[in-house]
Homo-oligomer: A and B are copies of this chain.
């Protein structure tokens, strides 16, 4: 089934497996004349890249991206941009036992049940390696946003890793890019690192919560009823490996609130645009942006690849005990941050392109003459 594409007008199709010759993304629908270079995209890939610190896997991929099409003289032509990342680090090993066994918590068993085959060298298509292609394509989306809708800033960060949680009172936007956990609190980094190293020593892993914010998104983008901005964002984040929940604004907490607490009150700002007393809505009402920060949060399950033995079965149905050796993150949430930023960029750009086709003179300007 043709299910490897994401987006309406800005459409990204990723391809490739963890242990194949290469992986990449076909980016179709990038507007023409957007400045795009391998350097620009590499910047974001390096941010995601494994092996950069002891909190992520030691697998050491340069993850160098090549632009094979769609860019001429440093600018997008409006035709498909093909991005390729070669898999240079494919250690050969004896797959004997693991080739026959389904790893608990992994997609090995469901892929086999669906497709009737098994790429026993690793996760194959279900590996988080696929997200490298998203991050590269996210770089294209960011550049397109720069030229189409300047002033939009997209940033992701961790808010929780198992027992560790950020202190909102100490939230520091500028600290996020300064530490390996992308957390908005420099002083907390050491505690988070100690916690994670302890887990690693216990041969265990842990889940996380990641929050992504888009600032400067214009009001009025999104589309009812099934292409809502929040619908597309939920799909975008849920498509990331290991994600089990997605929240917009108040998220699950909305169930505890009363109407008198939840609805954000509206006032007229000095610049002639509406302002809100709060942002319980996460910047989205009825699937359309309000002009406030778009705030999305998601939970990532703990890595299933751990050294603690687990019960499972083989392809032939016999029982097996599984210990997943090799290079794995004790918390995949860290790696999910730049991926989620890329997905946010896809969705915002896509809806801006969709909206541009329909916008009219003074359409929907509050305070404008009828």
8 Å CB contacts to B: which residues of A1-39? 1-11, 13-17, 20-24, 26, 28-29, 31-33
A161 to B16, CA, bound (A): 43
Inter-chain contacts of A244 with B (CB < 8 A): 247-252, 254, 282
CB pair A68–B21 under 8 Å, yes or no, is yes
Given A259-B105, A262-B105, A312-B265: A79 and B124 interface contact (C-beta under 8 Å):
yes
Cβ–Cβ contact B235 & A245, under 8 A? no
**Using an 8 Å CB-CB cutoff, how does the interface string of A283-317 with B read, 1 for contact, 0 for none?**
01111111100000001111111101011110111
Partner of A235, one of B24, B102, B232, B358: B232
Give the 8 A-B CB pairs with smallest separation, nearest first.
A107-B286, A105-B263, A3-B227, A2-B11, A317-B367, A116-B363, A205-B259, A110-B288
Cβ–Cβ < 8 Å partners of A209 in chain B: 252, 255
Q: How many copies does the complex hold?
A: 4
A288, B114: Cβ atoms closer than 8 Å:
yes
Given contacts A26-B13, A244-B248, A299-B251, contact A266 B360 (CB under 8 A): no
The answer for the CA separation of A159 and B17 in the assembled complex, in Å, is 40
Report the Cα distance A11→B11, complex, angstroms.
14
Given that A1-B354, A238-B228, A360-B116 are known contacts, is A308 also in contact with B260, CB under 8 Å in the complex? yes
A234 touches which of B104, B116, B235 (Cβ 8 Å): B235
Q: For residue A124, which residues in chain B have a CB less than 8 angstroms away from its CB?
A: 72, 77, 79
Which residue of B5, B109, B252, B308 is within 8 Å of A290 (Cβ)? Answer: B109
- The answer on a CB contact under 8 Å between B285 and A317 is no
